[in-house]
Chain A
Amino acid sequence: MSDPSHAIAAPIDDEETAIPLDEDAVGRISEGAPAWLSERRRHAWSMFENTAFPTTRSEEWRYTDVSRVVNLADLRLVTRASLPQNGHRPPMLAAAMDEDHAAAGHTVLIDGTVTHVDLDPALAEQGVILTSLRSAVHEHGDLLEELLATEGLPPEEGKFEALNAALWTDGVLLYVPRDVKLELPVRATRWLSHAGSAVCTRTLVVAEPGSQVSYVEEVLSEDFERRTLVSSATEVIARDGAQVQCVSIQRLGRDAFYQSAQRTLAHRGSTLDTLNVNLGASVSRLDLNAQLLGPGAHSDMLGLYFGDDHQHFDHNTSQDHIAPDTGSDLLFKGALDDHSRAAFRGIIRVHPEAQRTDAYQTNRNLLLSDEARADSLPNLEIEADDVKCSHGASVGQLDSETLFYLLSRGMSRQQAERLVVLGFLRDVMTRLPLGGVVEKVTRAIERKLQHV
């Protein structure tokens, strides 16, 4: 972002809150924690140490040479929120939060620590829980012991999943009891301010049978002056018949490496939909796995990205159909300008029991410059015989005749690109049923388009 009103996020200046990523850090972060959690963190750290750093030789990381993206030894863990001295929120954070009036509840995370939670008291009375993971460790220990980094994203999943499971500082627990329906979304705003930090946070969403909830998070920062790791682990569980939507909008500043792992577990008759919008960060990596665990479960998986400069987006998705009569529909669309680059690697896996699966996977890219690049690798792995599956991928240039058509109506090249990009991404946005989210995403894209 070249807007001069945007400050640059400063390096960590408080040595007490900044510690190297090592075994000592695991010990320090575990102080005061229950035994199960300390043990889980220690186990995760040993998984981290025993897992090789990913290289492009592995199929899952072929599009991103992560050893060139981040050197973990250079990063420092931040364990406390550092609010601005004058008590004022940075303008970018304030603007994002002020858009979020219509909500069932809010959480704010500053540098990986929850600093604010509010929830509609009527919902709290019905048993809805919205709280920080740090509090939940004590107040809802049984729930966390059962579900945090266990069936969702255990440290065995990979190097970064293990790092996050060992060193998460805080995060959000959202729990919706049986048959409770939230009309408005729960919103989370995650703000990062320290260049050179590693911030690991987790999100756990549990929707009990017949409940309904949507969770919308926005991750944002100014530009950093050196490489900064923002690591997310999101576990979402929709029990029988629950309806869950999770939206994540990433607007980090330059020099951020955004690493997000998400797993959704959809039980019988549930719908569990996700939308990931990636607009910021220098490098972003999304690992998204949808598990269709019970008959009748369905997941829509939407993705949007828009790159400029030298931004690099890597999307690694999988749709696991484990039970029969399940459906999933993935649509990832992105526009790429300048030297930006996107990779999509997606797989639909239909397990032997999963008869009558309906699974779709589409990735479409629009290149706005000759230097932009998109790679797309859709894949199918089908072990049942009665299924409907399809996958498709495309990479197209902004058509010169289309551009001329818009120019001939008086639009500048910039205005023409803006219109074409918004039009291209529109069918993803129109599939979002959530009020307010379309506007928020459109605004975020438009803000970015102003800089093209």
Chain B
Amino acid sequence: MSDTPILTITGLRAKVADEDIDILTGLDLTLQPGEIHAIMGPNGSGKSTLAKVLAGHPDYEVTAGEIVFQGTSIHDLEPDERARAGVFLAFQYPAEVPGVSIANFLRAALQARLEKDEEVDLFDFQDLLLERMELLDMDPSFAERPVNDGFSGGEKKRNEILQMAVLRPALALMDETDSGLDIDALQIVAHGVNTLRAENPEMTILLITHYQRLLNYIKPDVVHVMVNGRIVRSGGPEVALELEEQGYADWKTQEVVPA
């Protein structure tokens, strides 16, 4: 392959910082720029842990293996450094930030990407925000609401997509983006992701999901099955359909009796 992978994970083991047992148990994964990968797996397989470890959540500790993002190990990078380098985590349960409007939140996030003596131009920012909201068919008044404060599940996920649209990450990790959404909300969110992808085909996406239904709307190039902290099968979109029919039971059995 001539392309340099955007993300290479080798032999990754990780645990909750103050516990003993690894949740990720030797995970390998390679993403090329512009690819969409889906990771599917049963509850407790470590999918969300993987997302948090990649984003640098302080509750988790890498015990072995390596994560290389755009050619550099990110092991020693703080979460904010990873974000500024181009990693974006769309949260399953985004936190509420009372009293802080989405607009101010995003302005602070952009400000963080500038040098100390530079300042986000207020008018440029307003233009950018309006343009991004228009792209995602969002009402401009949405940006004046305090971040996730009293939001419905669908609004929270739309807010994540809006942030992704403004921050334009090289790698978007989408953690259970479909959870808690009805079919209408799911379609809106998927439409947002597809719009951003169409605009920027270089953006790489790692979708983490329990259910196949999200993959009806966002088409992955590669589907991985994750069980007990590692990838046990990788393939095309047909893997997701197989899982939909057969469930995860077979995979769990295979793990219990190693080959």
Contacts and interface: CB of A to CB of B under 8 A. Distances in A.
Contacts of B112: 409-412, 415
B161 to A, nearest CB: 14
A409 B163 contact: yes
Interface in A405-433: 405-413, 415-416, 418-420, 422-427
B108 interface: yes
Contacts, number: 81
B100 A408 contact: no
B138 interface: no
A399 B94 CA distance: 12
B135 interface: no
Contacts of B108: 406, 409, 411, 415, 418-419
Contacts of A405: 91, 94-95, 97
A405 B91 CA distance: 8
A404 B59 CA distance: 10
B55 A419 contact: no
Contact of A400 (B55, B58, B109): B58
Nearest to A425: B99
A97 B79 CA distance: 42
Contact of A419 (B91, B100, B113): B100
Interface string B94-126: 111111100011001101110000000000000
B78 A407 contact: yes
Contacts of A412: 80, 112
Interface centre among A412, A423, A424, A427 (most CB of B within 10 A): A423
A419 B98 contact: no
Contacts of A410: 80, 83-84, 109, 112-113, 167
Interface string A374-418: 000000000000000000000000011110111111111101101
Contacts of A408: 55-56, 79-80, 82-83, 88-89, 91
A406 B163 CA distance: 12
A80 B188 CA distance: 70
Interface residues of A, number: 25
A383 B108 CA distance: 50
B213 interface: no
Nearest to A418: B108
B219 interface: no
Interface centre among A410, A420, A423, A425 (most CB of B within 10 A): A410
Given A405-B94, A412-B112, A422 B99 contact: yes
Contacts of B55: 408
Interface in A187-240: none
A411 B120 CA distance: 14
Interface in A86-144: none
B242 to A, nearest CB: 33
